[in-house]
Amino acid sequence: MSEPLLELNDVSVSFDGFYALTDLSLKLYKGELKSIIGPNGAGKTTFLDVITGKVRPTKGTVTFKGKSLLGVSEQQISRNGIGRKFQTPRVFENLTVLRNLELSASPEKNAFSLLGSSLPQASKDEVHRIMNYVGLTPFATVQAGSLSHGQKQWLAIASLVAQAPEVLLLDEPVAGLTDEETLRTAELIKSLAGDHTVVVIEHDMEFIRDLGFDVTVLHQGQVLTQGPLETVKSDPRVIEVYLGPPEQ
Ligand SMILES: Nc1ncnc2c1ncn2[C@@H]1O[C@H](COP(=O)(O)OP(=O)(O)OP(=O)(O)O)[C@@H](O)[C@H]1O
């Protein structure tokens, strides 16, 4: 098999002696799609924080394309091609949908620099393609702050795609969405597959099923098991961590 694109090896994260991740090892290959599930406090967010450079591991290694990410700034990791959408969609509420996307596509990550300059035509075309793709073209001139919650989620995902990252990390992309919006988001994420390597963290099992990605279950900061959702769901250890131990 080829080299992993992203690799965590024996990673532990301790917050004042409390271990959010314990000897976590996980590999992600180019073009791979992975859903991460796990009960509250399993370490899912910390896992993403370690990859994006927000949290530095107490122990272990994190490599992207064979190079260590330890000590690399969050900004640089993002520039290197690892993009993240946070749980609460982060969009510039006072800018239009189009401006939000243009800003994401611009190498100058500064709202002011974009005002005076203009994107190359190829980037503009790409921005319009992505905007159309997420169904936001009719809202191009609308301020992001007046979009619905679902539309903000899509704008946040579209903004991420506009940055052209190799790895997309999506933290609870369907939190607070309607069933219809959830289904559309699953289609959108599936369509990113192939061109991107995608990691989705979610609690919504219907959505995880719709995605059809292999699932990794985290528990107490470690990988409990991995595989197709149906196999994982019938694993007694997974049932126990979600529902508690069987009654005697
Ligand atoms: N900065 C911190 N300081 C102390 N403890 C922390 C910190 N960040 C996370 N933790 C603890 O580490 C554990 C793992 O947290 P994490 O947020 O990674 O879990 P999670 O799987 O994302 O949970 P959830 O599904 O509830 O978002 C939790 O017990 C949490 O309280």
Say what the pLDDT of residue 247 is.
Answer: 67
Say what the pLDDT of residue 55 is.
Answer: 97
Cα–Cα distance for residue pair 83/170, rounded to 1 Å: 9
Q: How many domains does the chain have?
A: 1
Say what the pLDDT of residue 28 is.
Answer: 95
CATH number at residue 123: 3.40.50.300
Q: Is residue 71 part of a domain?
A: yes
Residue 14 has pLDDT above 60, yes or no: yes
Q: Is residue 248 part of a domain?
A: no
- Decide: 45 in ligand 1 pocket, CB within 6 A: yes
Q: Is residue 185 part of a domain?
A: yes
CB 150 within 8 A of CB 157: no
Q: What is the pTM of this model?
A: 0.89
Provide the strand spans (E) within 29-104.
33-37, 59-64, 67-68, 82-85
What is the residue with the minimal CA distance to atom 7 of ligand 1?
A: 15
What pLDDT band is residue 248 in, cutting at 50, 70 and 90?
low
pLDDT digits (tens, 9 = 90+) for 134-176: 889 999 999 999 999 889 989 999 999 888 899 999 999 998 8
CB 19 within 8 A of CB 222: no
Which atom of ligand 1 sits closest to the CA of residue 55?
Answer: 1
Q: Is residue 91 part of a domain?
A: yes
Cα–Cα distance for residue pair 122/110, rounded to 1 Å: 20
**Backbone angles phi and psi of 98, in degrees to 5:** -60, -45
pLDDT digits (tens, 9 = 90+) for 200-245: 998 888 899 999 889 999 999 999 999 999 999 999 999 888 877 6
Q: Is residue 146 part of a domain?
A: yes
Q: Is residue 1 part of a domain?
A: no
Q: Is residue 198 part of a domain?
A: yes
Cα–Cα distance for residue pair 209/84, rounded to 1 Å: 22
Which atom of ligand 1 sits closest to the CA of residue 43?
Answer: 18
CB 53 within 8 A of CB 68: no
**Residue 101 lies in domain:** 6-243
- Decide: 42 in ligand 1 pocket, CB within 6 A: yes
Q: Is residue 116 part of a domain?
A: yes
